[in-house]
Amino acid sequence: MRNSLRKNLWLVLVFFLISVAVFLWLPYARFSTMRQFFLSLGQASSLVGYCLYMINFILSSRSKWLDNLFFGLNRTYLKHHLLGTSAFLLLLLHPIFIILSYLTVSIDSALFYVLPSIKNFPTLFGSVALLFTIILLVITLYVKIEYSRWKITHKFLGLGLLFATLHIMFIGSTLSLSLPLKIYFYLLAFAAFMSYIRWTLLGKFFMKKVSYRVFDVIKIGEHIRLILKPGKEKLEYYPGQFVFVEFPGKRILSESHPFSIASSPDASYIELGIKAVGTYTNKLASLNKDDKVLLDGPYGRFSYKYYRNKSLVWIAGGIGVVPFVAMAKNMPNNIKTTLFYSVKNPSEAFYLKELIEISKQNRNFQLILWESSKRGRFGARDIPNILPENGYFICGPEAMMKSLFKQLLSEGVPDRNIHTEEFSLM
């Protein structure tokens, strides 16, 4: 119950921040005439949309307090995506309602709003902000580009925030009439700009990173096991967590990327299990011993350490097995755990030997290899004796996680006992 409340605390906070803005605006809303009705709807959509827009900039920061608040940084990015889309749709409704309000006066008035000019620069600022947001949202949702290039395009969102803020400051609406509302919006805008500057523009200078060195690079087929040795400071983490990794001075590899940790926290090294599927990950094989590595983390709540289930069911798909390897190495002998490891064929089973060895040493750890080429896709129906009180951890392709999540819910498992690691979103 406690974990369920914590997972939804973000929704309460977002609702509160929006409610404050609406409460301060409501005394100035007018709905008596058709023009006032559409004008007020336009203001309301802008009000809520801009609040979400600013909150989204705060969520884009890679902060430990967000990791704690959202019960995992991966969940923070999920909410960031959801709130960003919601903000965009509301901001898109804003000019539509305003145009409708002008149409109740005359077509010329509406055209003056639709075709802003230098003489009407507050509206021009709003149009530019909306255009920036549309372009960047299309790139984010529909255009497949490399992660490094996507991060560069994301930096331009700050221009959208700047023009949106200028639009609100000079448009002469309710904000100019209500000093409390103006102060509230300026405080939110300040927090959004500070988050953007600190984490998006100057993140490399503000993030605390732990220095490691490459000890070994083991390439097995399309998989890479990256062994890292600590410098002066050793990173403390829970099994199942992930870190952001960068290799300074290595061009493409100097870009920060997230990877799950495969080693146990009590090991003298950190091991990352990686599947080489893109330009960045393929370049990892060219690393040399003693190359410098910077680690930012740990992040995530995908670990049995955060939950109190007496029995655990783990479901891994492909490279999604990595956080389970770390947990299996650190798992107490008194917790009954079953790992279903789904791969197309045994040759793709990364860490299979280690997991077999762990199952021999820990009598309460059971490993079941699922060959999908012979048995079909793994589903909740393939889990014997599904108990609602068990903890169910799922990590793998996004479609697999979503499907299994729904299946487990339909089997009576409460969502508080189902945990997923949406690594594909990062």
The full set of domain ranges for the chain reads: 2-205, 208-299, 304-425
> Domain 208-299 is classified in which CATH homologous superfamily?
Translation factors (2.40.30.10)
Measured CA to CA, the distance from residue 288 to residue 228 in angstroms comes to 11
Residue 334: the pLDDT is 85
Q: 183 pLDDT exceeds 50?
A: yes
pTM of the model: 0.78
The per-residue pLDDT for 426 is 41
Per-residue pLDDT tens over the stretch 355-383: 999 999 998 999 999 998 889 899 989 99
Q: Report pLDDT digits (tens) over 20-58.
A: 999 999 988 888 899 889 988 988 998 898 888 888 888
**Close Cβ partners of 116 (under 8 Å, ≥ 6 residues apart):** 123, 124, 126, 127
d(CA 137, CA 135): 6
User: How far, in Å, CA of 101 to CA of 35, rounded?
Assistant: 4
* Position 144, amino acid: K
Domain range 2-205, CATH architecture: Up-down Bundle (1.20)
Is 2 a residue whose pLDDT tops 70? Answer: no
Average pLDDT over residues 145-169: 72
Q: State yes or no: pLDDT of 162 exceeds 50.
A: yes
Fold exhibited by the domain 304-425: Rossmann fold (3.40.50)
In whole angstroms, what is the distance from residue 5 CA to residue 9 CA? Answer: 6
Mean pLDDT for 204-228 is 88
Task: Classify 308 as helix, strand or coil.
Answer: coil
CB 349 within 8 A of CB 369: yes
Query: 2-205 and 208-299 share one CATH topology?
Result: no
What is the enclosing helix (H) or strand (E) of 180?
Answer: helix 179-195
Measuring CA to CA, which residue among 59, 74, 64, 65 is closest to residue 259?
74
Stretch 77-89: mean pLDDT, rounded? 79
pLDDT in the model for residue 179: 85
Q: What is the mean pLDDT of residues 286-306?
A: 89
| Confidence at residue 1, expressed as pLDDT on a 0 to 100 scale | 46
Q: What is the pLDDT of residue 392?
A: 94
The predicted structure's pLDDT at residue 71:
66
Average pLDDT value for residue range 96-102: 87
Strand order in the sheet with 292-299: 257-260, 242-246, 292-299, 210-220, 223-230, 270-275
User: What's the rounded Cα separation, in Å, for the pair 310 and 332?
Assistant: 11
Confidence category of residue 425, pLDDT binned at 50, 70, 90: very low
For residue range 322-361, list pLDDT tens digits in order: 999 999 998 888 889 999 999 988 888 889 999 999 999 9
Give the C-alpha separation, 4 to 16, whole Å.
Answer: 19
Res 119: pLDDT: 66
- Percentage of the chain with pLDDT > 70? 86
> Is 243 or 71 the better-scoring residue by pLDDT?
243
What local confidence, expressed as pLDDT, does residue 251 receive? 73
